[in-house]
Amino acid sequence: MARRSRTDQTVQAPNILTSYRVWRVAIYIRLSVEDSKAKEEAKARGRVIDESDSVTNQRDIDREYIAKLNANNDGDQYIIVDEYIDDGISGTTNEERGDFQRMLGDIESGRVNCVVVKTLARAFRNYSDQGHFLENFCPRHNVRFISIGDPHIDTYENPEVVNGFEVPISGIMNDRYAARTSNDIRRTFNSKRSKGQYIGSFAVYGYEKNPENKNALIVDPEPAEIIGRIDSLFLGGMSKNGIKTYLNDHGIPSPAAYKMKKYPTYTPPRGGDNPLWTVGMVDSLLRNRIFCGDMVQGKYRTKSYKIHDLEKMPESEWFVVENTHQAIRSRETYAKVLDMIKRDTRTAPKKNELYLFSGFLKCADCGRSMSRLVSQKTYVYFQCSTYKALSKNACTMHSIKGEKLELAVLYAIQQQAYLAVSYADTITRINASPLKKSQSARLLDTISVKEKDLAKIKRYKQGLYEDMKDGIITRDDYRHMTEDYERQATALQAVLGNLKAEQAEFEKGIDTENPFIATFKKYQNIDRLTREVLAELLDHVKIFEGGDISIRFKFSDELRRIAEFIEINGQNEQRKAG
């Protein structure tokens, strides 16, 4: 934050002859971003610094020059009104420099009529801003501008200097220097990001910078425990709004408040002595992959070295490096959290807890979500939201009691868990057998069909050229049809790659650590449903007219592969026994 210094003298013009002038001087000082970083690093090493060497140097040069002007005995007086210091802010923009703006206000009010800077670069790194200030703003307000360094500028002693070649060229050079510096810094930062090195000024909530390596993160126990608690509350059924209220009611410092306490130099964007938790903060923490131990950076970037507005980058351009630091959140938990976020999880008015099946139910006919209702007899039931809210002619009720639905889903999960245990025993026995056949006729047949389709497309593509030469099709037709065949071939090659990868996995065999088996075995003694259980096991539940249901479990592809593996090798064992 810019620091305002004390004025040297009271700004009151003495009684002087009208042929003399009183210059009410503003000393403008800008501390570069690089100087500011050096200052912060010195503080981190325990050196107490009131101001950087750069500020002291600029102040001494400016004041010494003003003292010489006063010593000239030409009758003019130079009274230092104030110092305007922008600490660690780029000179490529005027709007973000708080003290520069304050100086402009003092000029417009008549408090200041002379500006002194060490060099032109300290005042401007933006050629267009420099031109506007020197050629428009200063003349309009009768302001004298003095740049002490090279090129020396004094718009009162030599007003023509602004319109010469040297000043504009110097401005262009400063502008280009800022552009090159910005590009160099961006390349350096991107290089560090690509290596998984953390480049933030402050560590992300949940971590702190490693004292032995400022580009590495280590776990900060206090906020790490809060992140774990947020995960548990969310997976337990509490809404983001409910979590926000819980954290504020329990006096838990928000990330901004915690950072203010931990880092005295940190100032939150929105200010305030005690920023409270918001829904946005909770949502951001739930979505942040960095807690899984992966470095994720580059989500935002400044538009340019002149325009410092942040723009959101597409996820494909983020810098993601896995396993760079200790995880706070397991990948399994993160997957469940993301699954819950994607679902329709609105809560009832004045409620913080999400309903058990919120976001999991679909109408089997129209595909829309099911609405939760409570009858006058106080039992819960669900019906199609299309029928309830849009049109009773567009779909039917598809009603089902909540108690019946919960019992049916619980039973289905218990059956899947039983199946997982049974399959695990069978696979253990098959894997112990000396003879094991692991070729999937289904996969081999599918691969064969896709390979024939790909060969057919290649033949068609080759024939197009001859058709164009013979005049059967035009050149434009040839180009469009070739592009279409290439798209089809690319899609088929991708499908073939997946099928062959699946076949290769099939040939390796199945073990008891298969995701379906490992996940459902955990629930072999389940007797109650929770949202966390549903998030881990269910994709969705379809409700049919009449109350029947269809459950789509996760890991269904794994289940099919296991069943096929057991069927093939079970038949093989029977032949061997025969």
DSSP 299-365: SEEES-SS---EEEPPGGGSEEESS-S--SS-HHHHHHHHHHHHS-----TT--BPPTTTTTEEETT
Output the pLDDT for position 44: 43
Output the pLDDT for position 328: 93
Residue 151, preceding peptide bond in cis (omega within 30° of 0): yes
Contacts of 99 (CB under 8 A, 6+ apart): 2, 4, 28, 84, 85, 86
Helices 556-577 & 475-508 angle (0-180, nearest 10): 60
Contacts of 176 (CB under 8 A, 6+ apart): none
Output the pLDDT for position 105: 92
Output the pLDDT for position 231: 92
Write out the DSSP string of 382-431: EEEHIIIII-TTTS----EEHHHHHHHHHHHHHHHHHHHHHHHHHHHHHH
Contacts of 553 (CB under 8 A, 6+ apart): 416, 537, 538, 539, 559
| DSSP 8-state class, residue 135 | I
What is the end-to-end Cα distance of the chain in Å, rounded? 86
Output the pLDDT for position 48: 40
Find out whether 119 and 148 touch, Cβ atoms under 8 Å: yes
How far apart (Å, rounded) are the C-alpha atoms in residues 440 and 458?
Answer: 27
Q: Which residues does the chain have with pLDDT short of 70?
A: 1-19, 32-53, 88-96, 125-128, 164-186, 268-273, 302-310, 344-353, 377, 433-442, 502, 504-512, 570-578
Structure token pair of residue 447: 């691969």
How far apart (Å, rounded) are the C-alpha atoms in residues 174 and 124?
Answer: 8
Cβ neighbour number for residue 126 with a 10 Å cutoff: 20
Collapsing DSSP states into helix, strand and coil, what is residue 210?
Answer: strand
Output the pLDDT for position 508: 62
CATH architecture, domain defined by 201-342: Alpha-Beta Complex (3.90)
Q: What's the CATH code, domain 22-179?
A: 3.40.50.1390
Output the pLDDT for position 351: 62
Output the pLDDT for position 325: 92
Provide the Cα torsion 398, 404, 408, 411; round to 10°.
180
How far apart (Å, rounded) are the C-alpha atoms in residues 5 and 418?
Answer: 76
Output the pLDDT for position 484: 86
